Structure 1
Amino acid sequence: MKVVVVGGSIAGLACAHALFAAGCKQVIVLEKARTLKPAGAGLGLEPQTCKVLAEWDFHQQLMDSTLPLTIDQSQATDSKSNATRVLARDENFNYRAAHWSDLHKMLYDKLPRDTVHWGHEVVSFQQSEDGVRVEVKVAQTGQTVVVDGDLLVAADGSMSLIRKHFEPHQHRRYLGYCAWRGVFDYSKNDSPEMIASIKNVYPDLGKCLYFDFAKGSHFVLYELHGKRLNWLWYVNQPEPHMKINSLTTKVDKSTIEKMHEEASETWGPELSALMKATSEPFINVLYDREPLKQFVWNHVVLVGDAAHPTSPHANRSTNMSIIDASVLGQSIAKWGFDKISIALAEYESIRLPVTSQQVLYSRRLGLLKQGFLFDPPHSFPWFEADANLCDQLLQRNMPCFKSNS
């Protein structure tokens, strides 16, 4: 059994680990990026994901490179008075805070050296009764080569070329808002006063996932291993013009300065100072898609964001990708390569209904947090929210949360 995985992000590398664990001897990961390089920002890993990584022998590395998130807290901030009201708090939260690059490198380093082929961009593929044939453009030579396999795993992200082949008329949905993102490294202790003031306002940093609400906006803050503060600020705005294959964009100095001005009007001085001190903040333009009716087409299977792009409000994207990979590997191990069609059908039957519910729930959660569900939109005073509404903000309400494998 030879498996071709398209996409060398976390989803693709997780699939490689799951396939090797299932007994597959030949796994090739094709990634269009030319090299492994630091990217991304923070993410939260749920217990089931951590269990999967431990099964792949990453437990100690995970503990060494992440911080525990034992508290999920939503609160409201009044920028004028700088007063804070705790809306909801879950002290039984059991996540790990990780940096995308740390997790990606951890997965990559433990794969056989010839698994990932950098600078290999898939341009087309064909299926036959026997398997798949993939045409790949090699960046180093400019030539196009052919890779044959028995199974094609599409882990090529929310703008998946392979998904588009099967669902050409389904387009991404702009969610109505973008996310400013940044990671501030204070390991050199060059901003002690600012860090002290932030930890005074957010005393559980290091173990808490904070959501801070204002009218029509919210802010996310938590600490990463290595004395790094990860932050996101969600801003309602018209859909920006983006390159077709990009969801992330760097911004010019004047745009950053405008962001700093708006932040000082929306948030307290501590968060404003943190944003100003962060070098190279960037913008994520946020999309999802309508849930699919299938993930499998003969010898082709979708995983991760290629299968179910989702909004980021419930920490689902990376978690769903790793659990997809685990379930795919378990199904193949259960049924064997001679019954691959049954294995793929089982994977689809397990993961499709769960991820569909979670995509729609995460979409609604984002609309709630950004104020789209109120009349008039974006104007809801979170200081006046009742207990029932506040409870909806907690991560534990995610459908299938306790049984999402």
Structure 2
Amino acid sequence: MKVTILGAGIAGLTTAIALKKAGIPAQVFEAAPQIKAVGAGLGLAPNAMLALQKLGLSEKIIPLGARLPHFSILTREGKVISRNDSNVIGEKYGLDNFTIHRAELHEALLSELNPADIFTGKRAVDLERIGKSIRLHFADGSTHDTDCLLVADGINSAVRAKIVPDVQVRYSGYTCWRAVINYTGDEPPGATETWGAQGRVGVIPLTKQRIYWFACINAKAGEQRYRNYTARNLYEHFRQYHDPIPSLLAQTQDTQLLKNDIYDLKPLKRFAYGNVLLLGDAAHATTPNMGQGACQAIEDAVVLADEWQRHGTFEYAFPAFEQRRLARTTDIINQSRTIGQVAQLENSLLIGARDLLLRSMPASFRMKQFDKLYTVDF
């Protein structure tokens, strides 16, 4: 039986690793001419770390990341609105919150696979069913036949569009700049997000004296005035925010900036379509407000391998995967979108009410939310 994975991102590579460990070989087809991780930092929450532990990868990944002692939401002036202690989280769930550079995670995952099973320059543009098989058509004119297909090629998947043509990719209402820099100031003791009327800025320490930061500003999709925004423009926009935000922006070079409008997928009603299964962002792309995009992709890999081993065939494994993953990923998409809307408020009265509500929220309520997010079913 031929198993094919579309996409060599975190979802595709982790799935290939999980299936390999389950004794199910797969080939990976990647659209890019060479596999080169892009992006900046990302979070690996306890649920993702537990999934990596199940795959035997946590000991390899942990030294590459930075443990976060706490995560705080701050006002523009730097006053604490809400704080979560990672020591409490680590004691309860067994593993802490980590941050890691996406490129380093990607490289670690790649090293687990045989390069002969990965094919680059293969951008899938169409598929057709031939009997019980699937024939993929690539942009370079080549084709590939397979018995089952795992679609993990991202939020804008062309293959998913052929299977589910009415899928809705939704704009969040804000655009985002990101960068990883070597910071010369004092390293922040933990991760922070600063919420103000001018926008939101996150500051997350990585390893090797590096800082990952992001900045979100409300805007129309593709708004012209932000297309060529420079690091200097961002500095001027956020210069009234507390330290070290102005210093971080001042030390950032334009060549280090990555900019993206933020989108998610309206939750799908299905992931499994016969011998085709949607995974990762192709199935349940979410806004980054909960730091769960990569985490849910890693969970997908573990659950799929688990169901495949349990049932023995993809015919039973794919629907079982769908049953385990639909409700969880739908909740995360919806909750993350709501958090983004609340975090991006501009009205001062609404901001005051929001901050007061968050400050008065009991720790027990937050722990219930963590229970829901970090408790996994494997």
TM-score past 0.5 threshold: yes
1:5-404 equivalence runs, <5 A = 5-25=5-25, 27-78=26-77, 84-91=78-85, 92-93=88-89, 94-138=96-140, 144-186=141-183, 191=184, 195-196=185-186, 199=187, 202=188, 204=189, 208-215=190-197, 217-240=199-222, 252=228, 255-265=230-240, 267-279=241-253, 280-337=256-313, 340-371=314-345, 380=352, 384-385=356-357, 387-388=359-360, 397=369, 400-404=372-376
Matched letter for residue 122 of structure 1 = A
Q: Secondary structure at the match of 2:79?
A: strand
Q: Secondary structure at the match of 1:387?
A: helix
Structure 1 residue 396: Cα displacement: 6.7
Q: Secondary structure at the match of 1:34?
A: coil
Structure 1 residue 325: Cα displacement: 1.1
Matched letter for residue 273 of structure 2 = W
Report the more deviating stretch, 213-222 or 227-236.
213-222
Cα shift readout 1:363-405 (whole Å, capped 9, x = no counterpart): 0011111117x6877x547665553469799697268313344
Q: Secondary structure at the match of 2:8?
A: coil
Distance 2:74 2:366 in 1: 11
Q: In the superposition, relative to structure 1, how do residues 241 and 382 fare at CA in structure 2: closer, same or farther (>3 Å)?
A: closer
Structure 1 residue 90: Cα displacement: 1.6
Distance 2:148 2:344 in 1: 41
Unaligned runs of 5+ in 1: 79-83, 139-143, 243-249
Distance 1:335 1:347 in 2: 11
Judge conservation of contact 2:264–2:286 (CA < 8 Å) in 1. Answer: yes
Judge conservation of contact 1:43–1:315 (CA < 8 Å) in 2. Answer: yes
Report the more deviating stretch, 210-219 or 100-109.
210-219
Matched letter for residue 164 of structure 1 = A
Q: Secondary structure at the match of 2:139?
A: strand
Identity, % of aligned pairs? 25
Matched letter for residue 17 of structure 1 = I
Report the more deviating stretch, 176-185 or 56-65.
56-65
Matched letter for residue 10 of structure 2 = I
Judge conservation of contact 1:74–1:393 (CA < 8 Å) in 2. Answer: no
Judge conservation of contact 1:358–1:399 (CA < 8 Å) in 2. Answer: no
Cα shift readout 1:112-160 (whole Å, capped 9, x = no counterpart): 121111111112111244221111234xxxxx22211111000010001
Report the more deviating stretch, 50-59 or 12-21.
50-59
Task: Give the CA RMSD over aligned residues.
Answer: 2.5
Structure 1 residue 321: Cα displacement: 0.5
Distance 1:95 1:396 in 2: 17
Matched letter for residue 136 of structure 2 = V
Judge conservation of contact 1:215–1:381 (CA < 8 Å) in 2. Answer: no
Distance 1:172 1:314 in 2: 19
Match of 2:93 in 1: none
Report the more deviating stretch, 105-114 or 347-356.
105-114
Judge conservation of contact 1:216–1:380 (CA < 8 Å) in 2. Answer: no
Richer in helix (by share): 2
Q: In the superposition, relative to structure 1, how do residues 70 and 393 fare at CA in structure 2: closer, same or farther (>3 Å)?
A: farther
Cα shift readout 1:333-357 (whole Å, capped 9, x = no counterpart): 11113xx211111100000111001
Unaligned runs of 5+ in 2: 90-95
Q: Secondary structure at the match of 1:292?
A: coil
